[in-house]
Amino acid sequence: MNLISILILSILFCAACDRPKATNKIELDIAEDLEELDMSPEPMQLPEKPEKPIIDKGSRVTFLGYHQIITKGNPGEMKIMATKFRSQMQSLKDAEIPVISLSDYLEWRAGSKEIPETSVIITIDDGYDDLVDVALPILKEFGYPFTFYLYTNFLGGSGRTLSENEVRALIEGGGELGSHSISHDFLVRAKRKFGDKNDYEDWLFKEIKGSKESLEKKFGVAVNSFAYPYGEYNERLAKRIAEAGYSSAVTVNGAKSGYETPLYELPRYIIHGNNDINWKAGTSFRGKVGLVGSRNIIKGSDNSAEKSRQITVWPENGKEIIDRLPILSANVSKYEEIDPDSINMKVSGFGSVPAIYDKDEGIILWAVKSKLRGSKYTVNLSFNEVGKEGKHFAAWSFLVERNVFYLPDYEERVKAERLESVKVLENQSPLRLEK
């Protein structure tokens, strides 16, 4: 043993000797406890990694779109009575259809959250003050989340518009804030008003990015979703929305959303006043059709009177066409006299279109002016009969097979398809309109 080892042992021995001995009972107990303590090492238990949620990619989600919820006056195309609105919310509860938030849906799409097999998302556009005065108490009553889309030029203006404090109340009440642009102008066709492309792009940037930044600065919340004004959009506009930092955008296409639905083309069933046609379509899941009133499931009537109130449309509902410049048509000849000024046709991706009415043939039509670039389109049609109260509504969707466009026999096939459209319109097959 060398000198260094002897010195170390001596120091340790002395240190042990100098350690004070327990002088009272408490100190003795502590000493005994220390002696009994098992200091042998044990394997470290790492926290279990949380399991990734099992995502059902087969879930289906309906976006419902509202505008004004009123207590006075008459319902209109964009106005629904509060009693009707509350009845619809009650119907969702009675049918046990969950209402989820837009954030829930986006988290599901990101693979981080489960959602029910079928569910509904409630959205409300524009920013009328009845949203806080009328709709919010009803939504709170049922505990339903919602998303509301504002265009900034409308905020805090004269008339029945939301104030900034009312917007804050909506956020506190469970609302998620989205953008509806700055001016609520047609974002695609507005390009015609600009002589210079750069001027249009600058304007478009402000409408999209500017509205997002303005709302976020005013209210201190993230604004992640965009609603296309009038439902008008195209692939280029959708790209601009994504580049501006939005995570989603909603349209006016009447269809349900799934796991693969494009996030910047999310469809919505727009509720036209007290009319139930889009409500029935949106709240129909796997054969359970048309929730309308509390504890009632309403199905289409089969009586002969109702069957006579039918129209024919082209393209037919659910049909896949190859013509990228089709004539969208509806045969309404079974109605005695249509008021031409009351006709309103909306097409997803185009918004309101200048449909014309051929009185002699009883056909409402609109010729598509630019090639269809999407794969699915929805048509919403409304009109009045002369001398009769109430507006009639119809909605249908069709698909576009875009790959056929490049085949050598494309033109011949289009000719054949257009001849087919004439035959279909002449044959009064059932697409029921409802008031």
Q: Kindly list the structural domains of the chain, giving each domain's residue range(s) and its CATH number in brackets, ordered by start.
A: 60-282 (3.20.20.370), 304-432 (2.60.40.1220)
In angstroms, what CA-CA distances link 75 with 81, 93, 137, 160?
6, 24, 20, 16
Looking at residues 99-115, what average pLDDT do you find? Answer: 95
**Paired tokens of 129:** 């003050």
The answer to whether residues 212 and 245 touch, using CB atoms and an 8 Å cutoff, is: yes
In angstroms, what CA-CA distances link 177 with 164, 169, 324?
12, 11, 36
Q: What is the mean pLDDT of the chain?
A: 82
> 140-161: per-residue pLDDT in tens?
999 999 999 999 999 887 678 9
Looking at residues 250-271, what average pLDDT do you find? Answer: 93
pLDDT at 239 over 90: yes
Q: Band the pLDDT of 54: cuts 50, 70, 90.
A: low
Q: Band the pLDDT of 397: cuts 50, 70, 90.
A: confident
pLDDT at 108 over 90: yes
User: What's the pLDDT at 277?
Assistant: 84
User: What's the pLDDT at 64?
Assistant: 97
pLDDT at 67 over 50: yes
Q: Band the pLDDT of 173: cuts 50, 70, 90.
A: very high
Q: In what order do the strands lie in the sheet with 175-179?
A: 248-250, 225-227, 175-179, 146-150, 118-126, 60-66, 269-270
Looking at residues 236-261, what average pLDDT do you find? Answer: 94
User: What's the pLDDT at 22?
Assistant: 44
User: What's the pLDDT at 39?
Assistant: 53
pLDDT at 5 over 60: no
> 264-292: per-residue pLDDT in tens?
999 999 998 888 888 888 998 764 545 54
The answer to whether residues 339 and 391 touch, using CB atoms and an 8 Å cutoff, is: no
Q: Please tell me the least confidently modeled range out of 41-55, 64-78, 332-346.
A: 41-55
User: What's the pLDDT at 66?
Assistant: 96
User: What's the pLDDT at 390?
Assistant: 74
How far out from the chain centre does Cα 185 lie?
Answer: 20
pLDDT at 90 over 70: yes
CA distance linking residue 243 with residue 205, whole number of Å: 10
pLDDT at 76 over 90: no
Q: In what order do the strands lie in the sheet with 344-347?
A: 320-321, 391-400, 376-384, 344-347, 351-353
Pick the more confident residue, 94 or 298.
94
What SS3 state is found at 384? strand
Share of the chain above pLDDT 70, in %: 80
Q: Please tell me the least confidently modeled range out of 19-28, 51-60, 213-222, 358-367.
A: 19-28
User: What's the pLDDT at 36?
Assistant: 55
User: What's the pLDDT at 361?
Assistant: 87
Q: Band the pLDDT of 396: cuts 50, 70, 90.
A: confident
**Paired tokens of 37:** 């303590």
User: What's the pLDDT at 378?
Assistant: 84
Pick the more confident residue, 54 or 176.
176
Looking at residues 323-349, what average pLDDT do you find? Answer: 89
Which segments of 198-308 are extended strands (E)?
225-227, 248-250, 269-270
Q: Band the pLDDT of 337: cuts 50, 70, 90.
A: confident
Q: Please tell me the least confidently modeled range out of 23-32, 47-56, 179-188, 302-311.
A: 302-311
